[in-house]
Amino acid sequence: MAPNTPITLSFLFLILPFFFFDQSISTNTELRYDFYDESCPHLPMIIRDHIWEAVQNDTRIAASLLRLQFHDCIVDGCDASVLLDDTKDMKGEKNAPGNVKSLRGFEVIDAIKADVEAYCPETVSCVDILGLATREAVYLVEGPSWGLPLGRRDGLKADFKSVQEQLPSPRASLENNTAKFTSKGLDLKDLVVLSGAHTIGFARCVTFKVRLFNYKGSGQPDPDINAAMLSDLQSMCPNRNDGTNANLAPLDVATVDRFDNEYYTNLISGVGLLESDHGLMADSNTAQMVRQYSFDTNLFYDDFAESMFRLNMVGVLSGRDGQIRKNCHVVKVDDGY
């Protein structure tokens, strides 16, 4: 989209994404919902146009952007560090375990950033673009919207080691993953709610294969996995190193491309894919929340919106901290890049 390209206004986009419950953002008073209204008024339409096209062209992109944003915010805070390329002096986050050959959607953020820079140079941060793009993509696949205060700034570094230490794992225990959430000011409820993002998207065989053949060293599959699903997954992910580890299985077998509460229904029926998903049913507190969300879509949507708001406030940079990158992959220095 060039600067002189006509932009079709979308009344729905301008109104709906800013419908949110009354939330205090006292944790960072420099952020505002109208932060770019004067400095970059075309921003909402640019986001909408790009994400509408991306969702039409790639049914996985909403899940990919949601995952990309989570992996950014949960590791050293929401600062777009996950978008940075490695340099000779910095081993960043992209190639760390859990991210490498797994994260997607970078090209969508790049395309949005290029158009935004054409209209309002060095004004809108990559982290705000990622947040807005994710929210719009989730809404376009029938998910909820959430309040998103803007004016966040991009970080100056990325850290390979931080990913290893801070990123929750699909193979980790509920206790371990909960500790990683609480270290960010999030809680057990946020973990259960944000796990509901697995209502869209896919997982690679390597992330759940341990459940299929030799669960916890038993030489047998996970006894709690649904028998029909087990047979399908064993065919898709055979017990050999032949390149099939990259094969994909839907996280929600019922409605893989639509954001809804079927993920929780699946867990109750024993068809949760990841070990971390299944673990939510092994704890009485989280199992109760799973059942509540499986019965009440509106409750899930409301709580998901609240948890996404909270996630987007983790480790935020604003004011004079951080920077506004011109290129989301590269930290800007005084004399250019």
Q: Find the Cα–Cα–Cα–Cα dihedral 129, 39, 32, 54, rounded to 10°.
A: -20
Q: How far apart are CA 197 and CA 105, in angstroms?
A: 16
What would the two tokens of residue 279 be? 């673990």
Q: What would the mean pLDDT of 302-315 be, rounded to a whole number?
A: 98
Candidate from 10-24, 86-100, 181-195, 266-280 with smallest mean pLDDT: 10-24
The CA–CA distances, whole Å, from 111 to 35, 86, 126, 243 equal 21, 20, 11, 31
Model confidence at 337, pLDDT cuts 50, 70, 90, reads: low
Q: Where are the beta strands (DSSP E) in the chain?
A: 202-204, 248-250
The CATH architecture one would assign to domain 42-201+251-312 is Orthogonal Bundle (1.10)
Q: Whole-prediction pTM value?
A: 0.90
Question: What are the pLDDT digits (tens) for 242-265?
Answer: 788 889 999 998 898 999 999 999
- Dihedral pair phi/psi, residue 81, rounded to 5°: -65, -25
The CA–CA distances, whole Å, from 325 to 35, 70, 100, 137, 317 equal 17, 20, 23, 23, 13
pLDDT of residue 27: 54
Nearest to 131 by CA among 297, 320, 311, 319: 311
Contact yes or no for 93/99 (Cβ under 8 A): yes
Model confidence at 22, pLDDT cuts 50, 70, 90, reads: very low
Question: What are the pLDDT digits (tens) for 133-150?
Answer: 999 999 999 999 999 999
Q: How far apart are CA 117 and CA 193, in angstroms?
A: 35
Nearest to 306 by CA among 13, 21, 17, 7: 21
Annotated binding site: 72, 75, 77, 79, 81, 93, 168, 198-199, 252, 255, 260
Contact yes or no for 203/251 (Cβ under 8 A): yes
pLDDT of residue 247: 92
What would the two tokens of residue 180 be? 């990683």
Which residues are catalytically annotated? 71
Domain ranges within the chain, ordered by starting residue? 42-201+251-312
Q: What would the mean pLDDT of 190-213 be, rounded to a whole number?
A: 95
Query: Rounded to the nearest 10 degrees, what angle do helices 106-119 and 126-140 cross at?
Result: 120
Annotated binding site for heme b: 198
Annotated binding site for Ca(2+): 72, 75, 77, 79, 81, 93, 199, 252, 255, 260
Please give the residue that has the higher pLDDT: either 157 or 14.
157
Question: What are the pLDDT digits (tens) for 23-54?
Answer: 333 356 689 999 999 999 999 999 999 999 99
Q: What would the mean pLDDT of 56-68 be, rounded to a whole number?
A: 96
Model confidence at 18, pLDDT cuts 50, 70, 90, reads: very low
pLDDT of residue 13: 40
Nearest to 273 by CA among 210, 192, 216, 337: 210
